[in-house]
Homo-oligomer: A and B are copies of this chain.
Amino acid sequence: MDYSQVPTPKRCYADFCLIPVGTGKVSVAQEVAEVQKLLKASGLYYTLHSAGTTVEGSWDEVMKVIGQAHTIVHKTGAVRVQTSMRVGTRTDKAQTADDKVRRVEEILAHDEPSAW
């Protein structure tokens, strides 16, 4: 098998939380804001939540922008940057982030009261 020809997925979502290490600052809000600007400029669909940011697009686009986020946070002075990431791909359908939450909410809405 010629592994070099294996493509990366056309579509994925990544939920990531990036942490600057060794900066001496407790708040990371400024760095998170810088990354949001980068994401906005990328044209990819993304949402910020309290424990990270979810971004959707092709594997290559998504990973490129997260790599650029590391570079940008290094430029703010952080010698080390550490990211925790969850990435998902699926081949059956293109389900958006919003679809996923809606699906769970529908199940909960139709649930019998007695089950609570």
Contact = CB atoms under 8 A, between A and B. Distances in A.
A94 interface: no
Interface string A66-95: 111011101000011111111111111000
30 contacts: A1-B37, A3-B42, A6-B72, A9-B74, A12-B70, A15-B50, A15-B51, A15-B52, A22-B24, A22-B27, A29-B104, A33-B107, A36-B108, A40-B116, A41-B116, A47-B49, A50-B97, A50-B101, A51-B86, A51-B88, A59-B63, A59-B70, A63-B63, A63-B64, A81-B89, A82-B86, A82-B87, A83-B87, A84-B84, A85-B85
A4 B28 CA distance: 23
Given A3-B38, A6-B38, A33-B108, A51 B50 contact: no
Interface string A8-30: 11001101010101111111111
A33 B46 CA distance: 23
A29 B100 contact: yes
